[in-house]
Amino acid sequence: MTFRPLSLLVLHGPNLNLLGQREPGIYGSLSLAEINRQLEVEGKNLAVEVFVMHSNHEGFLVDAIHDALGKHQGILINAGAYTHTSVALRDAIAAVNLPTVEVHLSNIYRREEFRHHSYIAPVAIGQISGFGAQSYILGLQALVYYLRTKCEAKV
């Protein structure tokens, strides 16, 4: 079976640039660069283009979501702490209406109460958390599956 080429945007939010150093008991020992390499390898395995961006700045992430419209067919996002605070990111995802999967390295529901709420979840097609770096790979696989089955079935 052949698929049309897919282009996916991966967004990493605040403090994820410190992965590997920052609280490895919670976030693991892999660096963001290592996670990005794993995503690129999995993207090749799935025959999709993966474009990765990171920012500690909310407005940059909002701009990247807006810019995804017309360039990418889906978004994989770990918004970090903005998950729990950013109506702006939620509204940007809703505005572009691209299938979006939310991922988290840790299980946010086993952590502090304030992390239990996600502004992104209601506008995402799904959420994966608690599997460390594997959350990103599972999220990428789920997004590709969704785009190739749910979206292509409509075309």
Interhelix angle for 58-68 vs 87-96, to 10°? 10
Question: Is 84 annotated as contributing to ligand binding?
Answer: yes
Question: Is 106 annotated as contributing to ligand binding?
Answer: yes
Question: Is 91 annotated as contributing to ligand binding?
Answer: yes
Question: Is 115 annotated as contributing to ligand binding?
Answer: yes
Question: Is 36 annotated as contributing to ligand binding?
Answer: no
- Residues identified as active-site: 27, 104
Distances (CA, A) of 115 to 29, 30, 62, 79: 21, 22, 21, 12
Q: In angstroms, rounded to a whole number, what is the distance separating the alpha carbons of residues 34 and 135? A: 14
Binding-site residue ranges for substrate: 78, 84, 91, 105-106, 115
Known binding-site positions: 78, 84, 91, 105-106, 115
